[in-house]
Chain A
Amino acid sequence: MKKHKISPSQWTLFGLSLIAVLVLAAVLFRGTGGERIKPAAPVRAGEEPSATAPARESKSVQLFFLSEDDNYLHPEKREIPAGPSVVEEADLTIRELIRGSDKGYISPLPPETKLRQLFVTKDGTAYVDFSREIMEKHPSGSSAELATVYSIVNTLAFNFKPIKKVFILVEGSEKETLGGHINLSRPFVPLFSLNAR
């Protein structure tokens, strides 16, 4: 008699809920699949570096700036929230570099510049995509362009071992130069000889 308790309508209900569960599982699974890929891109939702770091450990990085006294790039220590991956840390570091020096060094990046995107490919190339101001507000000139490029490249390569070369993009695409001099159409390897000792 008990067997008769499962009516056809109950079967249908059971079938439907099974499908629903499967669909839900598939959606969730795909969701987590996406999450797994995500660490290649900055995960932070907020634009302010401090917004995401309530209880996170901090990491100290060296930013490289110009000094009025010589032609070298000078390190300045800065604390940033640590992790979760190199990409997030590199992203924050570049934002700090744009923000400029606390010690009176000269920042060779126009302060209006925004970091649009930063990602690191498997072969260790960091693609750093800046807003148009990095070109439009740039004073041009060989020395000025070299300073801009190598403060970015040396800062990234000095602090992050996985970053071997840096490709500078502007508004999402490859540009010839910032102001008519230094070639941006190839990735840069760091030039640590420019760093002050």
Chain B
Amino acid sequence: MIALNRTTAKRLAFFSLLFFSLLAISSAQPTLQVSAEDHDGYNRAIVAVPFSLPFELEKDGNLLLVRLTSRVSFRLRTEPVKSRLIKGLSWAKTNNLYIIIIEARHERFRYDSFKVENKNQLVIDFYELAAPPAPQEKAAEAQPAPPAAEEKKEPPAPQDLIPVEGDPLAAKGIRTIVIDPGHGGLEYGAKGKFGTLEKDITLAVSLRLRTLIEKNLAYHVELTRDRDMDVSLENRAAIANNHRAELFISVHANSSYRSKASGSETFFLSLNATDEDSRRLAYLENNSADLEKPLSSKDQDDIQMILWDMAQSAYLKQSQRLAEIIQDELNALLGTRDRGIKQAPFKVLTGVACPAVLVESAFISNPQEERELAQAAFQENVAQAIYRGLVRYIKLLS
């Protein structure tokens, strides 16, 4: 009887495992939805994304290419095309770049686009042009709205790139550093003997770090939270990717079962790689050329799942360098014991698509360090050390 129960329990465990991993996969994959439909006088295509993204449009013969850059990977959903002009929808992708290919039946069309901000939709209207007599091609270009396409719509869109603003800062060439104050809200992280909470220290240090960067560097700082609130680990990575962060710094305070444990350390991600993971990575490296071709939707799902899963894996070397430099500055400024740089499978770092580190300033579980962590002067020193590390790293790049 017991054996039977165990078998049942085991099956249950397996199924719940399967269920949860499926759930995880589906929730980790935002959808990019493309549809095309005819309206009176124009053919409308709609590209819908889950959040605001920069688009670029380019007409190439009978194709209209919609480029969008996202470090978050998508699953594509197309709806059946119901259009006289638009023949088909497909897409291709490389690491960050998605190209949606809208294929028209012929190249004689012009288009106009606008964004529906609250829905994160890009709407593209196609206007069919009359078949031009052979010698008049120049004229057609100069006057792209010949009688057949007469509409109340205004001036014709130029035929080359129309940058559609997504992230206004990135579009203006302003670079972003994302600072992630660990924990927050109900999830307070580690707790010291005197009641100091990790979430409060991480926020205090992060706010100081933001001030230092914004005062002295030509970088915009985005915080994953600027007050005491819950933010999921996946959303922290998503915030970095959506802001096209150049660097990601997660600020934490450490805690150990050993009350004597002390000092600061800087982590970067370890993949905890199994053979299977190595194979997947090798596959990606060997087949990156294939990724530029349109893929079947089944393949797309598989491959993007991997990309999302391992976004940080492409930046491990840079992350390690960043960790080394920050740790160096922490040692110089804090006088806490150097625990060095380490690699560990931190959940918050896995999905971040830029160099990313996690700084453990000191041990909240060590009564002496807990007292220090609670002091403004020490918090400022931690922020200073990270800031100096960032400056050195940025210089190294340029």
Could you tell me which A residues sit within 8 Å of B by CB distance?
Answer: 34-35, 37-38, 40-43, 45, 66-68, 71, 106-108, 117, 119, 127, 129, 139-144, 146-147, 164-165, 169, 172-174, 176-177, 179-189
Say yes or no: A182-B345 contact (C-beta < 8 A), given A43-B3, A165-B274. Answer: yes
Residue numbers in B under 8 Å from A107 (CB-CB): 257
Looking across the interface, which residue of chain A has its beta carbon closest to that of B15? A172
Tell me whether B39 is interfacial, beta carbon within 8 Å. Answer: no
Distance in angstroms between the alpha carbons of A177 and B259 in the assembled complex = 22
Looking across the interface, which residue of chain A has its beta carbon closest to that of B276? A123
Looking across the interface, which residue of chain B has its beta carbon closest to that of A185? B24
Of A35, A143, A177, A179, the contact of B256 (CB 8 Å cutoff): A143
Say yes or no: A140-B344 contact (C-beta < 8 A), given A34-B4, A34-B7. Answer: no
B3, A144: Cβ atoms under 8 Å?
no
New A-B pairs, 9, CB < 8 Å, besides A141-B255, A183-B345 = A37-B7, A106-B257, A108-B257, A144-B257, A146-B344, A179-B189, A180-B233, A181-B252, A188-B345
B255, A169: Cβ atoms under 8 Å?
no
Q: Interface SS of chain B: helix, strand, loop or mixed?
A: mixed
Say yes or no: A147-B257 contact (C-beta < 8 A), given A140-B189, A176-B233, A177-B233. Answer: yes
B24, A174: Cβ atoms under 8 Å?
yes
Distance in angstroms between the alpha carbons of A129 and B339 in the assembled complex = 32
Could you tell me which B residues sit within 8 Å of A by CB distance?
Answer: 2-4, 6-7, 9-10, 12-13, 16-17, 20-21, 24, 182-183, 187, 189-191, 198, 233, 252-261, 267, 272-274, 339, 344-348, 350, 358, 360, 363-365
B190, A139: Cβ atoms under 8 Å?
yes
Residue numbers in A under 8 Å from B259 (CB-CB): 68
User: Can you offer 22 A-B residue contacts whose CB atoms are under 8 A?
Assistant: A34-B4, A34-B7, A35-B3, A38-B7, A68-B258, A108-B257, A117-B13, A127-B13, A139-B190, A140-B191, A141-B254, A141-B255, A141-B364, A141-B365, A142-B255, A142-B267, A143-B257, A143-B258, A174-B21, A179-B189, A182-B344, A189-B272
B24, A187: Cβ atoms under 8 Å?
no
- How many whole Å from A113's CB to the nearest CB in chain B? 14
Looking across the interface, which residue of chain B has its beta carbon closest to that of A106? B257
- How many whole Å from A67's CB to the nearest CB in chain B? 8
Q: Which of A143, A169, A185, A188 has the most CB of B within 10 A?
A: A143
Distance in angstroms between the alpha carbons of A109 and B24 in the assembled complex = 27
- How many whole Å from B18's CB to the nearest CB in chain A? 10
A141, B347: Cβ atoms under 8 Å?
no
Looking across the interface, which residue of chain A has its beta carbon closest to that of B1? A45
Q: Which of A35, A107, A140 has the most CB of B within 10 A?
A: A140
B346, A183: Cβ atoms under 8 Å?
yes
Q: Which of B3, B187, B190, B273 has the most CB of A within 10 A?
A: B190
Say yes or no: A169-B17 contact (C-beta < 8 A), given A141-B198, A174-B24, A187-B274. Answer: yes
Looking across the interface, which residue of chain A has its beta carbon closest to that of B347? A183
B20, A142: Cβ atoms under 8 Å?
no
- How many whole Å from B267's CB to the nearest CB in chain A? 7
B365, A189: Cβ atoms under 8 Å?
no
Distance in angstroms between the alpha carbons of A42 and B254 in the assembled complex = 37
Looking across the interface, which residue of chain B has its beta carbon closest to that of A65? B257
Say yes or no: A142-B360 contact (C-beta < 8 A), given A68-B260, A186-B272. Answer: yes
Of A41, A143, A172, the contact of B3 (CB 8 Å cutoff): A41
Distance in angstroms between the alpha carbons of A169 and B15 in the assembled complex = 13
Distance in angstroms between the alpha carbons of A147 and B261 in the assembled complex = 12
- How many whole Å from B114's CB to the nearest CB in chain A? 39
- How many whole Å from B243's CB to the nearest CB in chain A? 22
Residue numbers in A under 8 Å from B13 (CB-CB): 117, 119, 127, 129, 169, 172
Looking across the interface, which residue of chain B has its beta carbon closest to that of A171? B16
- How many whole Å from B262's CB to the nearest CB in chain A? 11
Q: 6 nearest interchain CB pairs?
A: A141-B255, A141-B190, A143-B256, A183-B347, A140-B190, A183-B345
Of A66, A117, A139, A188, the contact of B9 (CB 8 Å cutoff): A117
A66, B3: Cβ atoms under 8 Å?
no
Of A45, A68, A183, the contact of B2 (CB 8 Å cutoff): A45
B258, A106: Cβ atoms under 8 Å?
yes
Of A67, A180, A186, the contact of B182 (CB 8 Å cutoff): A180
A140, B255: Cβ atoms under 8 Å?
yes
Distance in angstroms between the alpha carbons of A71 and B337 in the assembled complex = 13
Residue numbers in A under 8 Å from B12 (CB-CB): 172
B272, A188: Cβ atoms under 8 Å?
yes
Residue numbers in B under 8 Å from A129 (CB-CB): 13
A174, B20: Cβ atoms under 8 Å?
yes
Looking across the interface, which residue of chain B has its beta carbon closest to that of A164? B274
A143, B16: Cβ atoms under 8 Å?
no
Of B3, B17, B24, the contact of A34 (CB 8 Å cutoff): B3
B260, A174: Cβ atoms under 8 Å?
no
- How many whole Å from A41's CB to the nearest CB in chain B? 5
B274, A147: Cβ atoms under 8 Å?
no
A181, B347: Cβ atoms under 8 Å?
yes
B272, A41: Cβ atoms under 8 Å?
no
Distance in angstroms between the alpha carbons of A164 and B189 in the assembled complex = 31
Distance in angstroms between the alpha carbons of A140 and B256 in the assembled complex = 8
Of B9, B189, B272, the contact of A180 (CB 8 Å cutoff): B189
